[in-house]
């Protein structure tokens, strides 16, 4: 099934099971009562329940900072600072570089930073780099790109040697760099980089770049930080407020994008659902 019919079928199934949906409600406050929870919404509506599962998401891609952070902190629930995760980074480079390079892809590259190495495709934007490698191992500071990860230095050197022209002309012709990689090589290579084929091959395999600041939370795909693990039980139940459960990105975990975030959200929801069943069973 594609997404829309899957969602429709899923909602129908849940309704058949007795689930009631209340759309477009903004949770403003809730109280723990002797038996369960009372909830207040911004339109004045109220609701109550034996247990409460919050799955209010992270802080990225939102116009406003999520209000649940203050709400929970005000109730004594520990929440660590939300931080941009799976986000782009500024690339320190001249305006001339950006004039030429913006919108170009650096294909089949390996990015190595202080956090590790990740292969994939990078996109050069108006401020720096976006794409899986930088989402996974991005961190401010010096980094290196292997612009030709599928070929060893010696082989690359002999490939560069073919035909006429100086080393830089042969790099442009023989190295078969993607448009973004070529722009990097043109503008960001250290002085004297293209003096001979050996130096050129080594540089293409270990190309230094300087990553600046991470892009802000509003532009990040996800946020790290949130409800802290140490205050959660095995059913993702709050140890600080029995009967309260959490799932999804609002819990303090992080994962690379590409399905892992969504999988972790669904998985934590399943764990929390089991936790609620256990809790209700025990409180009977």
Ligand X SMILES: Cc1cc2nc3c(=O)[nH]c(=O)nc-3n(C[C@H](O)[C@H](O)[C@H](O)COP(=O)(O)OP(=O)(O)OC[C@H]3O[C@@H](n4cnc5c(N)ncnc54)[C@H](O)[C@@H]3O)c2cc1C
Chain positions contacting ligand X, by CB under 6 A: 25-27, 55-57, 60-61, 66-68, 221-222, 248-250, 257-262, 265
Residue closer to ligand X, measured from CB, 41 or 187: 41
Residue closer to ligand X, measured from CB, 146 or 249: 249
Residue closer to ligand X, measured from CB, 60 or 167: 60
Residue closer to ligand X, measured from CB, 42 or 195: 42
Say how far apart CA 243 and CA 241 lie, in whole Å: 6
Q: How many CB atoms lie within 10 A of CB 162?
A: 9
Least Å from the CB of residue 219 to ligand X: 9
Least Å from the CB of residue 189 to ligand X: 33
Q: CB-based burial of residue 166 (10 Å sphere; 0-12 exposed, 13-18 middle, 19+ buried)?
A: exposed
Residue closer to ligand X, measured from CB, 73 or 94: 73
Say how far apart CA 52 and CA 135 lie, in whole Å: 33
In terms of Cα–Cα distance, which of 74, 79, 78 is closest to 30?
74
Extract the runs of DSSP E, i.e. beta strands, from 18-149: 27-33, 36-41, 46-49, 52-54, 79-85, 89-91, 105-113, 116-124, 128-130, 141-146
Least Å from the CB of residue 105 to ligand X: 18
Residue closer to ligand X, measured from CB, 86 or 237: 86
Residue closer to ligand X, measured from CB, 125 or 222: 222
Q: How far is CA 215 from the centre of its chain?
A: 11
Least Å from the CB of residue 55 to ligand X: 5
Least Å from the CB of residue 247 to ligand X: 7
- Token pair belonging to 275: 């936790």
Least Å from the CB of residue 177 to ligand X: 27
Own/partner pairs, 121-128, CB within 8 angstroms, 24+ separation? 122/180, 123/180, 124/91, 124/98, 124/180, 124/183, 125/88, 126/98, 126/102, 127/88, 127/90, 127/91, 127/215, 128/88, 128/89, 128/90, 128/91, 128/211, 128/212, 128/215
Least Å from the CB of residue 43 to ligand X: 11
């Amino acid at each position: 099934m594609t997404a829309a019919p899957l969602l429709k079928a899923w909602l129908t199934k849940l309704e058949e099971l007795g689930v009631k949906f209340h759309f477009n409600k903004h949770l403003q406050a809730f109280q723990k009562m002797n038996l369960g929870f009372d909830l207040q919404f911004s339109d004045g509506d109220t609701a109550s329940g034996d247990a409460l599962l919050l799955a209010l998401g992270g802080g990225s891609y939102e116009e406003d900072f999520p209000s649940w952070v203050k709400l929970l902190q005000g109730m004594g629930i520990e929440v660590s600072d939300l931080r941009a995760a799976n986000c782009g980074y500024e690339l320190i480079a001249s305006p001339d570089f950006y004039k030429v390079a913006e919108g170009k892809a650096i294909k089949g590259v390996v990015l190595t930073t202080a956090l590790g190495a990740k292969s994939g495709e990078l996109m050069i934007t108006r401020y720096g780099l976006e794409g899986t490698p930088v989402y996974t191992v991005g961190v401010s500071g010096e980094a290196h790109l292997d612009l030709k990860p599928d070929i060893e230095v010696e082989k690359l050197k002999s490939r560069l040697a073919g035909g006429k022209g100086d080393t830089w002309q042969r790099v442009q012709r023989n190295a078969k760099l993607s448009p973004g990689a070529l722009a990097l090589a043109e503008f960001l290579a250290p002085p004297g980089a293209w003096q001979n084929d050996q130096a050129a091959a080594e540089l293409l395999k270990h190309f230094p770049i300087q990553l600046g600041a991470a892009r802000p939370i509003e532009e990040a795909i996800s946020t790290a930080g949130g409800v802290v693990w140490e205050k959660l039980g095995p059913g993702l139940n709050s140890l600080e407020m029995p009967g309260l459960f959490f799932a999804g990105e609002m819990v303090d975990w992080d994962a690379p994008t590409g399905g892992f975030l969504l999988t972790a959200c669904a998985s934590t929801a399943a764990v929390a659902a089991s936790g609620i069943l256990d809790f209700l069973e025990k409180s009977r």
